[in-house]
Amino acid sequence: MESGPWTVTAEQAGQTVAAVLRAHVPSLSWSKARELVERGQVRVDGRTVTDAAERLQAGMTVERAGREGAPARREPDLLVHLDAEVAVVRKPAGLLTVPFERTDRDTLLSRARVAIRRRETSRGAVHNPTLRAVQRLDKDTSGLVVFARTLPAQRHLQRQFTEHTALRRYLAIVHGAARDAIYDTVLVPDRGDGLRGSWNARRGDPSPEARGAVTYVAVEKRLRGATLVSCRLETGRTHQIRIHLSEAGHPLLGETVYVRDFKGAWLPAPRLMLHATELGFVHPHTGEELRFTEAPPDDFIAVLEELSRRA
């Protein structure tokens, strides 16, 4: 079978990966083209893609990768819970939740669609799943995320997050000896040094973009030079946990932004040590109270174990 690379023409712009692949390899059936993509055997601009429904732009290159008959890559199952209204998904660190720019193709949203299509196709349903964003995690944060599958479900879930009735609990490894605390501040886009942070009344009235932010912090374990804490959100402002703990003198391990005022010894970490470990909400259709927990991934556990050995 030909392997390319092939360049997406102006006439092919907007077509799916599977469609462009079939245009250059007419002997491929639709099901075989989708299977090759979902098995990680097709690259677009050098990037392995797994969503056969991803639409391409003119000038992109498409090529086969991997040998015929190669076994499918074994990847962790993203799906924690799936029904007709909601999907709860485990997000790996290093991945955007949703696209930030049009060129962001590989996101949790796109991977979740592939995972849902695979599961439901195996049950006889063939379609391109609709997913609607309800919440977002930072790129370097791991853990649980909920997507809505219908517009009414999205509105119902968003209302729970807005009214602070949804449960969100995170685990974080922070510098120093943190304490149990409640951080209740007003966050502004620019605290005076160009960074997002808590408003200081001495600087006058806050900007119109100011929003209240409440984080409940509880110590889980003392470590050598650090503390494992759990953080329950009442609100869900951008970088809320990172800001509150940094302003308290306990920036997260792996923090690269909110670090200007920290004078202590830095501890190494492969990424931001923040994990969304618990998520709870009322099901938008059945009214059932759902609660999910997810243990931290291996990179988080490795840092925790290393600091525990030193303690």
Which residues have a catalytic role annotated? 138
- Candidates 78, 101, 98; CA nearest to 89 is 78
DSSP 49: -
Distance CA 277, CA 213 (A): 20
Quote the CA–CA distance of 174 and 105 in Å, as a whole number: 32
Q: What is the DSSP string of 145-191?
A: EEEESSHHHHHHHHHHHHTT-SEEEEEEEEES----EEEEEEEES-S
Q: Of 265, 217, 269, nearest to 244 (Cα)?
A: 217
Omega before 5 within 30 of 0, i.e. cis: yes
Which of these, 191, 175, 186, lies nearest to 215 by C-alpha position?
186
Per-residue b or e along 94-111, where b marks 16 or more CB atoms closer than 10 Å to that residue's CB: ebbbbeeeeeebbbbbbb
The full DSSP string for 126-139 is -S----EE-----T
Q: For the chain, how far is it from start to end, CA to CA, in angstroms?
A: 58
CA distance 93 to 97: 10
Please name every residue paired with 183 in a beta bridge, in sequence order, or none if there are none: 215
Altogether, the residues listed in the chain come to a count of 311
